[in-house]
Chain A
Amino acid sequence: MNSSGVVFNIQRFSIHDGPGIRSTVFLKGCSMRCFWCHNPEGRHFQPELRYFPGRCIACGACVEACPNHAHELREGVHTFFREYCLVSGECVQTCYPGALELNGRQMSVDEVLEEVLRDRPFYESSHGGVTLSGGEPALAGVFAREILERCHAGGIHTAIETCGDSPWHSLEALLPWTDLVIMDIKLISPEKHLRATGRPNDRILANARNLAQTDKPLLFRTPIVPTVNDDPEEFIRIASFLKSLIDTRASGNNQESDAGGIAFELLPFHRLASDKYASLGMEYSAASLDPPTKSTMCALAEIATTLGVTTRIR
């Protein structure tokens, strides 16, 4: 039981992805293309090259190393031609200043466990644990399941962060080894969802309903993105959907996800990801968006509360 998968980051002392002090394992690959995505490094399933021009010392080592002529040095200036890059990683080996980085590497479950277990004493003292994020963990198949299973068997609290856009059986397969499911609900209106994320949302909402039928602690999150879902009309739909999920549970409890309830959080959109897009050669379509104001966030939380959904702003 030591499968492997592509991991683009393991963040220790992760404190916003579930209870306590955690390590978050970011798995590569997601079906959605939310234009504001905070983790664009997680979109593609395969590793890709990141380039940080500010770190380049124009030594030309990458020009020598690249078998596919993706790098050029002209008059002391380095240019990277992404279209020629086959992600052999050979340039990365020679780029000591770190201007070229591989985004994502194949790791075995053992390797992941070795890294996340370093902080085990902190999980124990803080009731924290390990969170699988992405990308989309439910699309990482047996790799995700084995990480969760091994952690769970070792007494480590496990969580997954999912966008919900996977076949139910993929998500369901992770549940026996998952102590907390953190799931995004971005939009309810189908056409808006398709426009903003590139994917329909019927499967996502169905998965959310299925999760509500279980007794699994659930934390739903809505990233508040201006022009996408910060209008009261759309937000009322989101909150009402949440209310219907909460009502599904016998307890009707939405205070504490830990206590078998369904919790709800709002996350303000931010622009901190813009450098990530640049390094990946991706267009950042949310560059002109301003983060929602505190008053907008509070007003939305108030709407949710009025509808009977206790809400926390992150």
Chain B
Amino acid sequence: MESALPLQGIPRSPSSLSGWTYQERIDRLRTTKMRHTEEKWQVIGSMDMDDHAIILPPADSRQIVQVTSGSGFTMTDVLLKEFIPTSNHPSGGFFGAKACGENFRTLLAMHPTYVDPVSSLAGGYMVNFISYRNPAWNPDFDFSHLHEDHQKYRLHHGIGAVQHFCQDMTIGLELGWGGILEKIRRFRGINTDGEAQELYDGLEAMVLGIQDWIERHVDAAQDAAAVESDPHLRQNLNEMADINRRLVTDPPRTFREACQWMLWYQIIGKMYNMGGALGRVDQFLYPYYERDRREGVLTDEEAIFHLACHFLMDTSYTQLGGPDETGRDRTNELSYLMLEAAHRLKIPVNVGVSVGRAIDPGLVRRGVEIMFSDKTGIPKFLGVDSTSEGFARNGYPIELGRQRAYSGCHWCAIPGREYTVNDCVKVNLAAVFDVALREMISDTTIRPGTAELSVRFERHLRRSIDIVRESLDFHIDHMYRVFPELHLDLLCHGPIERGRDASHGGVEFYNLCVDAAGLATVADSFAALEQRVEQEKRLGWDTLLGYLDGDWTGPDGERTRMMMKNIPRYGSGGSRADAYGVEIARMFTRLVKEKPTPKGFQLIPGIFSWAANILMGRDVGPTPNGRHSHAPISHGPNPDPGFRKDAAPTAMAVAVAAVQPGYGNTAPLQLELDPGISRDAEGRAKIVDLIRTHFELGGTQINLNIVDRETILKAHEDPAKYPDLVVRVTGFSAYFASLSPEMRQMVVDRIVAEE
């Protein structure tokens, strides 16, 4: 067992009869997490993504490798060197449900246990199974016919996308691992075709591996209890052993058991494919909370503690509050307690607070209070009316829209019923624009102009979305034979019953996400061309192309770059760039909704780059908005930093509300506010009004940072001095010190430019 912390010298509360207050335990666990994080900085270096709460394996088991993340980032990862997956393919890879399930089971058998005597929950994950996938794609399924267009438009096309949809946790909480195993075996007898049998092999191997892993934690907790000198910690360890002995097979009965069950499911998901969105925890845990409170076996302090123990090991996305199917608000005590748990921890967790016409306004008020007091970019804010009403525009009843749960960076999904590839498909508008611009200028038969450019941009945008359609069909045709969604399949309605992976017909709804990225880059480029080239005639199209080819070098290069950049920009309000922003967003939305994929899968448009705007920028040369070659493209639907001198959040909120695609997927507003903005209740009320009004204007999500300029600049200079500084990078929040210099720069630019 990995030892969590030395047990000597732990501060005790003299006033606490049980030896420890819950807050002392939280503080202690937080210190342990910081130790884990600092160790990761030393071994892995920067981590430009969710914290995921991974713990490094023991030093003598580590194998350090370079891998490409699902989002395309090259990152350092640490493998368990004892585990070598068994290949079932000449390429050396392992593919299909059986091979994936069995290899995963073997990995679990070697995976160390993790029991922290201070926590109420056992388990922690140390290794990413996906990092063993080499090659990740089965070369038998050839998509080289799409490569040229993928390259041309620099598409994040979605072939090979994993997870990014949401399970229905209640299935697991009701069945337990024993019940799930029974269900798999029952349907194995019903669905006897080859695809189903293969899937059941994989699912069964996974569940058996999980049960074995939990059992080993029972032993580990008992062993730790046997040598534990503190009677209270010993009791806690024994409780953990007892709880988990039951949970190997049985469903949870109490709130603590439900939290433990949920944690197992989540960390297995993280380990398998970084999956495991939480969704509406305050709803599905509420019956346990309510029963335990009624029976007097749970206090709110204890509930907060269990939730905090969960968040320490799993930072997944969760929605607080929000409507039920009928539109009635379901905010409850647990919604507030979860917010409180995040507040006490002050670590990167991803809780989103629902905001809507019928939703308890106290929740957003409390969220804003915590936001200003903690300055960790937590919580984020969810416009539940816009997203549910927007979803209904796809032809679904609004009741279904209201069921969609916030469960990822910028996305929602119907728990257990909807396959989405959310956040995995990005159309790089800047790359598409570049293709159109160069094609137009090189065409000697026409007179170049923004009207002509717009026509060509639309043509290439349509083509790029068509390529996405083909790619997604290809993905759905083959993914189940490459790397099926075994973990999410377990808690979805359909995969086990039908014997089909969720990526291959296992669930009811297929609403595939297609996001646009680089909106401001392209809107500003169009406006700059219109103003400087067409109207003012300050330079010709060929001259412009020369500057682009030379990345604005040459005697007048920097001045020309400044000229193109220094125009009324997208977000400034009433500018041509604002009009282009709206026009491009509408064009993108129209083209995405024009038709489903050739195989009939529906697409839903959003505007979001995630933090991949840095990566996508590396793929695009200089753009006419004065952007340098390979510099990041604009972030999400946001204006570029410096879009207005006063950087007014309302100006940004108006601009971003105006470009919403409006079909239920989001275009989140990213705001950075100075802490001085709100020193009192009156100031905080204004922030609440800002949030609510953005949503009333049609906005879908708000990511908000409260960071002061001085702190962020100092932290950028010497991140190690600010190990605790948590910022909201995009849809996710992270330790600032964990980010790469490039990613830190992006956050700094946003904050400093908006001063």
Q: Which residues of A contact B (CB under 8 A)?
A: 9, 11-13, 15, 20-21, 57, 59, 61, 96-98, 114-115, 118-119, 121-122, 124-126, 128
Instruction: Say whether B696 contacts A125, CB under 8 Å.
Output: yes
- Indicate whether B646 reaches chain A with its CB closer than 8 angstroms: yes
Instruction: Say whether A126 contacts B689, CB under 8 Å.
Output: yes
Contact of B690 among A21, A59, A97, A114 (CB under 8 A): A21
Instruction: Say whether A118 contacts B574, CB under 8 Å.
Output: yes
Instruction: Say whether B573 contacts A118, CB under 8 Å.
Output: yes
Instruction: Say whether B650 contacts A20, CB under 8 Å.
Output: no
- Indicate whether B590 reaches chain A with its CB closer than 8 angstroms: no
Contact of A21 among B573, B689, B696 (CB under 8 A): B689
Interface centre among B649, B685, B686 (most CB of A within 10 A): B686
Stretch at the interface among B71-79, B346-354, B555-563: B555-563
Instruction: Say whether A118 contacts B651, CB under 8 Å.
Output: yes
A118–B651 CA distance with the chains assembled, in angstroms: 8
A57–B689 CA distance with the chains assembled, in angstroms: 42
Q: Contacts A21-B686, A115-B574 given; indicate if A13 touches B650 (C-beta within 8 A).
A: yes
Q: In chain B, residues 547-581, which have Cβ atoms closer than 8 Å to a Cβ of chain A?
A: 556, 558-560, 562-563, 565-566, 573-574
List, sorted by A's number, 12 A–B pairs whose CB atoms are closer than 8 Å. Answer: A12-B651, A13-B646, A13-B649, A59-B558, A59-B559, A97-B562, A98-B566, A115-B573, A118-B573, A118-B650, A119-B650, A125-B696
Other A-B pairs, 20, CB within 8 Å; known A13-B646, A57-B558, A126-B693: A12-B573, A12-B644, A12-B646, A12-B650, A15-B686, A20-B689, A21-B690, A59-B556, A96-B560, A96-B565, A114-B574, A115-B573, A119-B651, A119-B654, A122-B653, A122-B690, A125-B693, A126-B686, A126-B689, A126-B690
A57–B562 CA distance with the chains assembled, in angstroms: 10
A128–B653 CA distance with the chains assembled, in angstroms: 16
A13–B563 CA distance with the chains assembled, in angstroms: 28
A126–B566 CA distance with the chains assembled, in angstroms: 33
A128–B686 CA distance with the chains assembled, in angstroms: 9
- Indicate whether B481 reaches chain A with its CB closer than 8 angstroms: no
Q: Contacts A61-B559, A115-B573, A121-B693 given; indicate if A13 touches B566 (C-beta within 8 A).
A: no
- Indicate whether B146 reaches chain A with its CB closer than 8 angstroms: no
Secondary structure class of chain A's binding surface, majority of residues: mixed
CB B46 to nearest CB in A, in angstroms, measures 31
CB A41 to nearest CB in B, in angstroms, measures 12
A126–B696 CA distance with the chains assembled, in angstroms: 13
Interface centre among A11, A21, A115 (most CB of B within 10 A): A21
B649 nearest CB neighbor, chain A only: A13
Instruction: Say whether B697 contacts A121, CB under 8 Å.
Output: yes
- Indicate whether B358 reaches chain A with its CB closer than 8 angstroms: no
- Indicate whether B692 reaches chain A with its CB closer than 8 angstroms: yes
Per-residue contact bits, chain B 678-692, to A (CB 8 Å; 1 contact, 0 not): 000001011001101
- Indicate whether B110 reaches chain A with its CB closer than 8 angstroms: no
Which A residues are in CB contact (< 8 Å) with B574?
114-115, 118
A12–B651 CA distance with the chains assembled, in angstroms: 7
CB B671 to nearest CB in A, in angstroms, measures 10
A9–B645 CA distance with the chains assembled, in angstroms: 9
A61 nearest CB neighbor, chain B only: B559
Interface centre among A9, A21, A61, A96 (most CB of B within 10 A): A96
A289–B648 CA distance with the chains assembled, in angstroms: 30
Secondary structure class of chain B's binding surface, majority of residues: helix
Interface centre among B563, B574, B689 (most CB of A within 10 A): B689
Which B residues are in CB contact (< 8 Å) with A98?
562, 566
Instruction: Say whether B651 contacts A13, CB under 8 Å.
Output: yes
Instruction: Say whether B566 contacts A97, CB under 8 Å.
Output: yes
Which B residues are in CB contact (< 8 Å) with A11?
646, 648
CB B359 to nearest CB in A, in angstroms, measures 15
- Indicate whether B10 reaches chain A with its CB closer than 8 angstroms: no
CB B420 to nearest CB in A, in angstroms, measures 31
Instruction: Say whether A96 contacts B562, CB under 8 Å.
Output: yes
Which A residues are in CB contact (< 8 Å) with B693?
121-122, 124-126
A199–B696 CA distance with the chains assembled, in angstroms: 48
CB B536 to nearest CB in A, in angstroms, measures 10
Which A residues are in CB contact (< 8 Å) with B720?
none
- Indicate whether B64 reaches chain A with its CB closer than 8 angstroms: no
Ranked nearest first, the 6 interchain pairs of A and B with the lowest CB-CB distance are: A12-B648, A126-B689, A96-B562, A96-B563, A13-B648, A59-B559
A282–B560 CA distance with the chains assembled, in angstroms: 31
Which A residues are in CB contact (< 8 Å) with B563?
96
A124 nearest CB neighbor, chain B only: B693
Interface centre among A12, A61, A128 (most CB of B within 10 A): A12
Which B residues are in CB contact (< 8 Å) with A59?
556, 558-559
A124–B566 CA distance with the chains assembled, in angstroms: 33
A97 nearest CB neighbor, chain B only: B562
- Indicate whether B297 reaches chain A with its CB closer than 8 angstroms: no
B676 nearest CB neighbor, chain A only: A16
A99 nearest CB neighbor, chain B only: B562
- Indicate whether B677 reaches chain A with its CB closer than 8 angstroms: yes
B655 nearest CB neighbor, chain A only: A118
Which B residues are in CB contact (< 8 Å) with A114?
574
A9–B693 CA distance with the chains assembled, in angstroms: 24
Q: In chain B, residues 36-84, which have Cβ atoms closer than 8 Å to a Cβ of chain A?
A: none
B573 nearest CB neighbor, chain A only: A118
Q: Contacts A13-B690, A118-B574, A119-B654 given; indicate if A126 touches B685 (C-beta within 8 A).
A: yes
Contact of A96 among B559, B645, B653, B697 (CB under 8 A): B559
CB A89 to nearest CB in B, in angstroms, measures 15
CB B22 to nearest CB in A, in angstroms, measures 34
CB B691 to nearest CB in A, in angstroms, measures 10
B565 nearest CB neighbor, chain A only: A96
A119–B653 CA distance with the chains assembled, in angstroms: 9
Instruction: Say whether B650 contacts A21, CB under 8 Å.
Output: yes
Instruction: Say whether B650 contacts A122, CB under 8 Å.
Output: yes
Which B residues are in CB contact (< 8 Å) with A126?
685-686, 689-690, 693
B564 nearest CB neighbor, chain A only: A96
A125–B689 CA distance with the chains assembled, in angstroms: 6
Instruction: Say whether A57 contacts B573, CB under 8 Å.
Output: no
CB A298 to nearest CB in B, in angstroms, measures 14
Q: In chain B, residues 637-668, which have Cβ atoms closer than 8 Å to a Cβ of chain A?
A: 644-646, 648-651, 653-654
Which B residues are in CB contact (< 8 Å) with A118?
573-574, 650-651, 654
Instruction: Say whether B677 contacts A15, CB under 8 Å.
Output: yes
Which B residues are in CB contact (< 8 Å) with A21?
650, 686, 689-690
B562 nearest CB neighbor, chain A only: A96
Interface centre among B559, B565, B692 (most CB of A within 10 A): B559
Contact of B696 among A20, A61, A119, A121 (CB under 8 A): A121
CB B563 to nearest CB in A, in angstroms, measures 4
CB B150 to nearest CB in A, in angstroms, measures 37
CB B655 to nearest CB in A, in angstroms, measures 10
Contact of A122 among B562, B573, B689 (CB under 8 A): B689
Which A residues are in CB contact (< 8 Å) with B690?
13, 21, 122, 126
B536 nearest CB neighbor, chain A only: A93
A60–B318 CA distance with the chains assembled, in angstroms: 56
CB A155 to nearest CB in B, in angstroms, measures 16
A93 nearest CB neighbor, chain B only: B536
A127 nearest CB neighbor, chain B only: B689
Which B residues are in CB contact (< 8 Å) with A9?
645-646
Which A residues are in CB contact (< 8 Å) with B654?
118-119
Which B residues are in CB contact (< 8 Å) with A115?
573-574
A16–B573 CA distance with the chains assembled, in angstroms: 22
Which B residues are in CB contact (< 8 Å) with A61?
559
Which A residues are in CB contact (< 8 Å) with B650?
12-13, 21, 118-119, 122
Q: In chain B, residues 390-410, which have Cβ atoms closer than 8 Å to a Cβ of chain A?
A: none
Which A residues are in CB contact (< 8 Å) with B683?
15
A125–B677 CA distance with the chains assembled, in angstroms: 18
Which A residues are in CB contact (< 8 Å) with B562?
57, 96-98
Which A residues are in CB contact (< 8 Å) with B692?
125
A125–B692 CA distance with the chains assembled, in angstroms: 8
Which B residues are in CB contact (< 8 Å) with A12?
573, 644, 646, 648, 650-651
A11–B649 CA distance with the chains assembled, in angstroms: 11
A59–B562 CA distance with the chains assembled, in angstroms: 11
